[in-house]
Structure 1
Amino acid sequence: MKTVLITGCSTGFGRDTALHFLDHGWRVFATMRDPAASTLPTSDHLRVLPLDVTDADSIAAAIAEAGPIDVLVNNAGAGWLNALEGTPLETVRDLFETNLFGTIAMMQAVLPEMRARRSGVIVNVSSSSLYKPLPLLSVYRASKAALNALTESAAHELSPFGISVRIVMPGMAPSTSFGDTARSRIMEDGGFPEAYADYAQQTLAAMMEAADGTVTVGQDVADAVFRAGNDPDCPAVLPAGPDAIAWAKEA
């Protein structure tokens, strides 16, 4: 039985992905900062573990508990919606800490064992916002652009050791807690600059209208991640969801 470890499984894409792997007969380690918040079902093949991707001790403990990992899914991420001018540098650092540095730390934690076995797959969950220069997402997109650059180079670096590294690019998913959290933070950390308020409301309304009826759902991402983790012929970059696929074709 193959083993997958997935970060950020308390809700949304991570939870759906964990269930998808479980349904396909995998041994699943679903990780999250607070396992008490888990709504995942009880199963002999599912373990919920505490894991904070910004904490080295937490990462080491989860990796040790899981044992040899066939597929690592770096799904944990932080969202942010605000004008560049209204984004404190502390928030910028927090976003990069989770979206980039946390992924690097997870990859470094599993690579020695994967390299020794000369097999393994790492799937990094990015964002389809990189297909378009969307406003109010400059800092978030920067963190995901760095993640993509990391993944692309790592894929070449690790292929001689039998390790595949791939990117999944989910589309917009307004119904997820990730999207809700990102939108709610628009007034946090110093607030939204008043000069941008009208523009921001118009932009957000246009985004929601454009996404109406074509948004990504959790199963889209779960399907894409599962393919990235299993299909040797999977593209290096895989859009997930109807809007993401459409944007990829336009890019």
Structure 2
Amino acid sequence: MRTILITGCSSGFGLETARFFLDRNWSVVATMRTPRPDILPASDRLRVLPLDVTEADSIAAAVGAAGPIDVLVNNAGVGLLNALEGVTPDRAYEVFATNTLGTIAVTRAVLPQFRERRAGVIVNVTSAVTLRPLPFLSVYTASKAAVNAFTEALAVELEPFGVRTRLVIPGRAPDTAFGENARARMGMDIPEAYADRAATLFAEMRRSTEPLTRPLDVAAAIWRAATDPACPMRLPAGADAEAWAAAA
């Protein structure tokens, strides 16, 4: 039985991915900052572990408790919507600490077992905003674009050891808790010079009829990345992400 470790499973893409792999008879290690086993179906193939990807001790404890795994999915992330002038250094650091440095740190912790076995898959979840630049997302986009570059360079580094790395690039999914968290971080601190433009943009987004990304789209893309060695490096997930990728 194959085992997958997924970060950020408390909601959205991570939660759906854990369900998806459980349904396909995988052993799942679902991690989250505050474990909530009740949100996933009871199974003897499921373990729910605490993991804060910004804390080295937490990473070491979770990886140690998980034991041997076949696939790592770095999904944990935080959002941020604001003009750059409204982003404090602490907010910017928080976004990079989770989205970028957290992905690197968890990967580094898991990598020795993959290298020694000469097998394993690392799937990093980023964002379609790296394909189509948008205003008020500069810091968030930078944190995810860094993961894109990290993943592609790491693929070359690990190829001699039989370890694969892949990118899953979701589009916009406003019905997830991630979107709510991003709006919460935006708060009311958009600088006055940008306020009118921001209000117009957010109103247009609410009225948009563009197809969006469902958590199931992302789970299916992660499944392909984990199980199909011939799949491309970058897998857009969701109708909007696929359209943006085709136009890029």
Q: Calculate percent identity across the aligned residue pairs.
A: 59
The verdict on how the C-alpha distance between 1:38 and 1:13 changes in structure 2, with shifts beyond 3 A counting, is farther
| Distance (whole Å) between structure 2 residues aligned to residue 90 and residue 233 of structure 1 | 41
In 2, the alpha carbon distance for the partners of 1:154 and 1:38 equals 35
2:227 is matched with which residue?
A: 230
Residues 53 and 102 in structure 1, CA contact (< 8 A), matched pair in contact too: yes
In 1, the alpha carbon distance for the partners of 2:234 and 2:184 equals 30
Aligned-partner residue type, residue 198 of structure 1: D
Query: 1: distance between equivalents of 2:57 and 2:80?
Result: 26
Determine if the alignment matches structure 1 residue 214 to structure 2 residue 219.
Answer: no
Runs of at least 4 residues off by over 3 Å: none
Q: Are 1:31 and 2:31 counterparts?
A: yes
Aligned counterparts of 1:236 and 1:97: Cα–Cα separation in 2: 24
Q: 2:195 aligns with which of 194, 197, 210?
A: 197
Return closer, same or farther for 1:125/1:38 CA change in 2, 3 Å cut-off: farther
Deviations 1:162-218 (A, max 9, x none): 000000000000100101111122126xx11112111001112223333x3511001
Which structure 2 residues correspond to residues 1-251 of structure 1 after superposition, within 5 A? 1-36=1-36, 39-187=39-187, 191-210=189-208, 212=209, 214-251=211-248
Give the whole-Å Cα distance in 1 for the aligned partners of 2:91 and 2:199: 21
DSSP 3-state at the match of 2:28: strand
- Counterpart AA for 1:224: A
User: What are the Cα deviations for residues 92-126 of structure 1, in whole angstroms up to 9, with x where unaligned?
Assistant: 11100000110111111011110000000000000
Where do 5+ consecutive residues of structure 1 fail to align?
Answer: none
- What SS is found at the alignment partner of 2:81? coil
Could you list the per-position Cα deviations for residues 126-174 of structure 1 after superposition, in whole angstroms to 9, with x for gaps in the alignment?
0001111100000000000111110010011001100000000000001
SS state of the match for residue 21, structure 2? Answer: helix
**What is the root-mean-square deviation of aligned Cα atoms in Å?**
1.1
Q: Is contact 1:78-1:98 (8 Å) kept?
A: yes
TM-score normalised over the length of structure 1: 0.96
Distance (Å, rounded) in 1 between the aligned partners of 2:75 and 2:15: 10
Q: What SS does structure 2 have at the residue aligned with 1:35?
A: coil
Secondary structure of residue in 1 paired with 2:53: coil
